[in-house]
């Protein structure tokens, strides 16, 4: 094999190693960044179902020890929707799961369980997301489960 070919291959491997090292160091630097820490805090907050509580963004930011702007930026950048819309959507998703898990749970109890204690607010938000009011949605989807 020619010396130039060997050098070219070696140079290519060295460049790849340098790029991989730079990417790794960048990743390590990101772990210390505010954005990364916000991401970790929000994942934990979501996993613990803290969204059930009726807190304002300011209260949540304070609990997470971040600025409100960071929280807002997190949702814009990583979720793609506003915090209010995200929280509504995740609450309705959980409400649908609860409705299908037990047909005997009253809709008011489901609304309270997901953090929407006002019956009319629960109905309105549910309809905004699904296009149907909760009782109609439940009947329609339980019929599908039962094969009717």
Asked whether the predicted pLDDT for residue 26 surpasses 80, the reply is no
Tell me the per-residue pLDDT of 53-67, one tens digit each, with 9 for 90 and over: 888 888 888 888 888
The answer as to whether 104 is a domain residue is yes
Q: Which of 40, 34, 43, 44 is nearest to 66 (CA)?
A: 34
The answer as to whether 43 is a domain residue is no
For the chain, the helix, strand and coil percentages under 3-state DSSP, each to the nearest 5: 80, 0, 20
Domain with 104 in it:
85-146
Decide which of 6 and 115 is more confident. Answer: 115
The answer as to whether 64 is a domain residue is no
The answer as to whether 19 is a domain residue is yes
In total, how many domains does the chain have? 2
Residues 6+ apart with CB under 8 A from 6: none
Tell me the per-residue pLDDT of 113-147, one tens digit each, with 9 for 90 and over: 999 989 999 999 999 999 999 999 999 988 766 55
Q: What is the dihedral of CA 84, 87, 90, 96, to 10 degrees?
A: -80
The answer as to whether 79 is a domain residue is no
The answer as to whether 49 is a domain residue is no
Confidence of residue 49 (pLDDT cuts 50, 70, 90): confident
Q: Which of 102, 96, 100 is nearest to 129 (CA)?
A: 96
pTM of the model: 0.68
Tell me the per-residue pLDDT of 73-105, one tens digit each, with 9 for 90 and over: 888 887 888 888 988 998 999 999 999 998 899
Confidence of residue 22 (pLDDT cuts 50, 70, 90): low
The answer as to whether 107 is a domain residue is yes
The answer as to whether 80 is a domain residue is no
Query: What is the Cα–Cα distance from 125 to 106, expressed in whole angstroms?
Result: 17
Through-space distance between the first and last CA atoms of the chain, rounded to whole angstroms: 73
Please report, for the domain that includes residue 112, its CATH number.
1.10.10.60
């Amino acid at each position: 094999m020619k010396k130039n070919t060997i050098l070219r291959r070696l140079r290519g491997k060295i460049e790849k190693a340098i790029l991989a090292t730079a990417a790794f160091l960048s990743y390590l630097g990101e772990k210390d960044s505010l954005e990364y820490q916000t991401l970790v805090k929000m994942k934990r907050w979501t996993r613990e179902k803290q969204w059930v509580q009726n807190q304002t963004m300011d209260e949540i930011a304070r609990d997470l020890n971040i600025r409100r702007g960071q929280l807002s930026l997190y949702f814009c950048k990583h979720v793609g929707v506003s915090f209010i819309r995200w929280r509504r959507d995740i609450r309705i998703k959980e409400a649908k799961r609860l409705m299908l898990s037990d047909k005997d749970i009253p809709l008011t109890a489901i609304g309270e369980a997901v953090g929407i204690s006002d019956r009319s607010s629960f109905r309105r938000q549910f309809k905004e997301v699904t296009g149907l009011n909760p009782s109609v949605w439940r009947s329609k989807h339980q019929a599908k489960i039962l094969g009717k």
